[in-house]
Structure formats: structure tokens, C-alpha cells
Structure 1
Amino acid sequence: MFSDVEGAKSFYGDVLGWTFGESSSEYGNYTQAYANGKAVAAVVPPMPGQEGMSQWCLYLASPDAAATAGRIRENGGEVLMGPMQVGDFGTMCLARDPSGVVFGVWQAGVHEGFEAPPEQPGAFCWAEVFTREPEKSDAFFPAVFPYTAKQMQDDGVDFRLFEVDGDMILGRMRMTDEFPPEVPPYINVYFAVDDCDEAVSRATKLGGVLRFGPMDTPFGRFAAISDPQGASFSVIDVSKTEGEMPQLTDVS
């Protein structure tokens, strides 16, 4: 969601190599983004009442958006919009977890979601819930979605993984005092790149701000960036890994 959609298309086209489809005025000027011809994201203008805000929103798949909306309410979350049908594309709703993290729910119709594999440059690769109240998110997401959870064994970092059938789906990170108080809880999305440092260089030359990194991890070399409109995202080169995978403990 971007106040300046054309600016976002120019920035992400240059940084991530995206191309864009035709804007659909029937659906709020929704514009599909592609990497190598595969759907990876979309850009839209802000909804009424949210002008001036630019941010990424991750949509989590559901076989029944109405039932998921019910579980969201039952478990202390808030449904902000919907569920509403979007033509024959699918059904969406927007929600907020009890700790303040905004996310979407998508019941697929003809639009099933991501088409590119997560390791493909330009593709959505990973996401993490950043919250100051992890205990609320930790209880909420497995109650609403079919998640099991594992906690990273690291005294310095409070990090949890949510899985579905053994596949890692979503991370959860406790926001420390390093985050300014005005930064709200959010879901940070990661896009794959073939060279993290080059992607950072392209982003900063175009007005993006490097927030963290680049840093080598067992998952890949990554960096956190704010785009020129203030939307946060990360880039990661999953081919460059360093160090041993962390120990995880089942907490489901």
C-alpha cells in the first residue's frame, strides 16, 4: 500500500527487478508485480482514511476467510475490513492481532497467491512478526491458523518459528528497546535477491534507508531497509549462509 504507486513501481522495479501488470481501476487500482513473469506482490494506493501511510501487508492463506475472521475475533484480534469477495479472484479480510500487528487473510479463487518459488530473485521469501508483546502473538497465531511453534534457544534473542506440517511459515521476533517507540508492531517481509550488498546499494541510491545489515546468518545474507515512502522490508541472499543453524525447542 503506497501513497505514490508510480514511485513504488519505479523503486521496486529497480531494486528487485519487478515488472508490473495493468492497473485495475475496478479493484482500487490494484497492480500486480512480477519477477520473471511470476506473481510476487502487488501495489495499491492507500484505502480511505489511511492516506499518507505506506506499508507492506502479508496475506495468510485460508480455506474459509469468514471462519478465520471468526477465530480472529474469538482470540482477541480485530477484523478491520471484510471478509469481502474480490470478483472471482478470491476473498480477503484485514485484521490486527492482540499485540497490534496488522495482516491480511486470503481465501483463494482464481488468484492463488505467490507464483514464484521463495529462492527466486525478486520473490517473496520470508516474513517475521515484530511485536513488543510476543506472548499475545504467540497465543493468537496458532489459535487462528494451524500452526505449531518452536522457540530459538538463544538468550540474546527472543525468536519463535511457526510451522505447518513441518514447513517453516512465519517468524516472530520480540521488538527490543532498539526500536523507537513510534515504530508500531508490524510484519517484516523479505524478498530474495541474488546479491544483498548490490540490492542495498541500489535501494539507498534511490532514496531508501538502510536500517540494519547487511549481515551473514545461517539463513542467508540479509539487510533491513525502509523504502523512500517509509515502508519497511528486507532483502536476503539465501545462497550465502554462514554459521550453524540455531537450536529450536518445540513449544506447541
Structure 2
Amino acid sequence: MSRVKFELPADDLTRATAFYREVFGWETQRLPFEYVLVDTDGEPVDPADADGGISPRTRFVQGPVLIIEVPDVDEVAGKVAAAGGELLNAKERVGEYGFSQYVKDSEGTVLCLWQSIADGTAAV
């Protein structure tokens, strides 16, 4: 079973963060790199259980992206390719939080595969 979160691209993280806090009352937490975690329920952000994030706009992330939490990014990326999808980048480590890889589904929709590092023992 997988959990689905979201990622919103922004040209200005500070401006976008203020927008979502002011308009929707979302709680936010800026990470030590260019990323902001968000919780949509008004509760303080728990980095291990955030609802989504705001990221810099990139060539992959031009519009909202679903983040699909998976047990093993490498395994699921292989399934994406086998099912007619496209791998957009190599798996990347995201600080001490986990691993991500952007893919396109069979219809061209960009998704982000996410593997959390629950206990710090996940393989690279």
C-alpha cells in the first residue's frame, strides 16, 4: 500500500509559502535546503508525516505533482519503465529524509516516487 502526497512548484518559495499560509491556514516548515514541508490541517508540521511540500520549479516540476510513497524507489521505478512510463532522473537522496525519483506515467503525467528513511538504514 502506498500513501499519496503532493508537491507544488514555486518560482519564489518565500512568496508561495506565505500565500498558502495566509489563504488556507497551512502550517509550513522550511528545510535546510530549497524545500518547504506543509501540513494542511493547521497542526505543526511533522517532517515524517507532512501532507506535501513546496519546491522550486524545475524542468520536471512545472505543475502540481503527486508524491507516491513506496517501499523501494528502485523497484517501483523499474515497474514504471516496464509499464511504459519514463524515468526522468536518477534516484536522489534528500537529506536524512529519504529518496526521490521523478517519473512520467504512461500518459505523460509527472509523478515523484518517495522512499522514506524511517530508521536511517535505507540503502542508497
1:190-215: CA deviations, max 9, x gaps?
A: xxxxxxxxxxxxxxxxxxxxxxxxxx
Tell me which of 57, 61, 66 is aligned to 1:46.
57
1:45-75: CA deviations, max 9, x gaps?
A: 123x46xx75221111211110111111111
Q: Which protein has the larger Cα radius of gyration, Structure 1 or Structure 2?
A: 1
CA distance in 2, matches of 1:6, 1:33: 13
Return 5+ residue gaps in structure 1 as ranges: 112-252
* Percent of matched pairs sharing the same residue: 26
Match for 2:10: what amino acid?
Answer: F
After superposition, residues 52-201 of structure 1 pair within 5 angstroms as 54-110=62-118
If asked which structure has higher relative contact order (CA below 8 Å, sep 6+), I would say 2
Please give the root-mean-square deviation of Cα atoms over the aligned residues, in Å. Answer: 2.1
CA distance in 2, matches of 1:61, 1:78: 18
Return 5+ residue gaps in structure 2 as ranges: 1-8, 120-124
Partner of 1:8: 16
TM-score (norm 1): 0.38
Distance 1:54 1:4, change over 3 A: farther
Displacement after TM superposition at 1:88 (Å): 2.5
